[in-house]
Amino acid sequence: MDNNRPLSPEYLKHFLEKRANEYIENVNYHHNDDVIVSRAQTGLLAGMLTECLNGENGDRYLVNEWLTGVKSTNDISPEMVLAMLDWIKPEKIYNPSKKKDVYVPSEHAIKEAQNVLRICLEESGQTSFMMKG
């Protein structure tokens, strides 16, 4: 995937659906036939996606809905949470101003999430000048 990045919004949606299906098929992620995801993973996804979108929760809801069909990260299927974390590729780095390790999304994921947001805004009739950052 990295060689062809940034991904178009349409291809990103396709990639996420395909990756989520791979988790469904991989029994290592199952418990009683359900894919397992922790609250920490769901929270990490919400935080990373919000960071990709300049800290705007409202924008995260738009992007979530466009990519997955649901607004809230809590309502995203476990397999899609894992697929989205694979896409965002959070990396733990030391933040000297906070004096602790923090997670940051990949540069590609930031650009791709912002491109999805741009599509969301255009589809809702908002113009591109409303984009932040």
Please check the confidence at residue 128 and state whether its pLDDT lies above 70.
no
Extract the tokens encoding 89: 């590729």
Residues pairing with 78 in the sheet: none
- Res. 85 pLDDT band, cuts 50 70 90: very high
Residue labelled with tokens 């894919």: 35
In this prediction, residue 112 carries a pLDDT of: 97
Q: Rounded to an integer, what distance in angstroms lies between the CA atom of residue 1 and that of residue 103? A: 21
- Model pTM? 0.86
The CB-side HSE value for 54 (13 A sphere, CA atoms) comes to 9
Per-domain boundaries in the chain: 2-125
| Average per-residue pLDDT for the chain | 88
